[in-house]
Amino acid sequence: MTALVFRGTGDSQGVPRVYCDCAVCREARRGGVNRRLRSSLQMIDPDAGTTWIDCGPDWGRQMEAASLRDVDRMLITHAHFDHIGGLPEWYDACRWTGKTGVAYTPAEVIEEIAGRFPWLGSRIEFRTFDEPISIGQWTVKSWRVNHGKNGYAYAFAFRHEQTGFRWVYCSDAIGLTEEQQEPMIGVDLLILGASFFHEPYPIETRSVYDVTEAIELVRKLKPVRTVLTHMSHDIDMGRSGELPEGMAFAYAGMRIEC
Ligand SMILES: [Zn+2]
Ligand SMILES: [Zn+2]
């Protein structure tokens, strides 16, 4: 059976935020339940080993938390620092162990990463992920999603060949078109980014759904289960009772069997 383990559930700055002294950041600073590293997900598959989604700047610490020395492949959703900042560290690990890492991401993201970290290509093999790929018995497709003022990201949809189980990872999105929502309809598990509980800023300045919008979207798409990730200090785990049935906030170490 495939297991998914959340290794990071924070937004681009993580929680606590360096400059902030709000109640959630203070609780997080004391090592509490709101402590969040940058978003990433570990997928453990009996046939395909370890797949790691997104490699932010907390990747090294997340690997330690997972007691892992290596991953079999990375999937990268987009080239924002909170999703790729750990790639140079992975590169160094590959260089020292004499391995070549394998990362899948759409061609335009490969180009952006190469612009940012031009040396990675000598130790990390970037494979284009514009067409579906297979990971063990999972068929995985990527598609481009609106990321508001931050441009675009990609979401990933997984479908198991034997069981038909479907799950989606979409950490950075807002204002999805009907077409972009389509792969999420009725999935068994939707992992969706929600940065704020309720974000008061004008829509043109925003880049990720808030919890109230996520609830609306979930009502429409009707996934069996939804787990929210990519959360800022505006989200207090103490408010999980306000989520409808079938929805939950993710936390580091949260494990889901597919
Ligand atoms: Zn992000
Ligand atoms: Zn982003």
Q: Output the CA 82–ligand 1 centroid distance in Å.
A: 5
Phi, psi of 220 (to 5 degrees): -80, -45
Give the ligand whose atoms come closest to the C-alpha of residue 8.
1
Q: Output the CA 171–ligand 1 centroid distance in Å.
A: 7
pLDDT above 90 as % of the chain: 100
Calculate the average pLDDT of the chain: 98
The 10s digit of each residue's pLDDT in 202-248 is 999 999 999 999 999 999 999 999 999 999 999 999 999 999 999 99
The distance from CA 245 to its chain's CA centroid, rounded to whole angstroms, is 22
Region 31-56: mean pLDDT is 97
Residue 8: its pLDDT value, please? 98
Residue 221: its pLDDT value, please? 98
Residue 83: its pLDDT value, please? 98
Q: Output the CA 143–ligand 2 centroid distance in Å.
A: 15
Going along the chain from its start, the domains and CATH numbers come out as 3-257 (3.60.15.10)
Distance CA 148, CA 80 (A): 13
Residue 39: its pLDDT value, please? 98
Give the ligand whose atoms come closest to the C-alpha of residue 174.
2
Q: Output the CA 35–ligand 1 centroid distance in Å.
A: 16
Give the ligand whose atoms come closest to the C-alpha of residue 153.
2
Q: Output the CA 139–ligand 2 centroid distance in Å.
A: 24
Give the ligand whose atoms come closest to the C-alpha of residue 147.
2
Give the ligand whose atoms come closest to the C-alpha of residue 54.
1
> 0.75 cut: is pTM over it?
yes
Q: Output the CA 48–ligand 1 centroid distance in Å.
A: 26
The 10s digit of each residue's pLDDT in 119-171 is 999 999 999 999 999 999 999 999 999 999 999 999 999 999 999 999 999 99
Q: Output the CA 154–ligand 1 centroid distance in Å.
A: 11
> Three-state SS string across 93-162, please?
HHHHHCCCEEEEECHHHHHHHHHHCCCHHHCEEEEECCCCEEECCEEEEEEEEEEHHHCEEEEEEEEECC
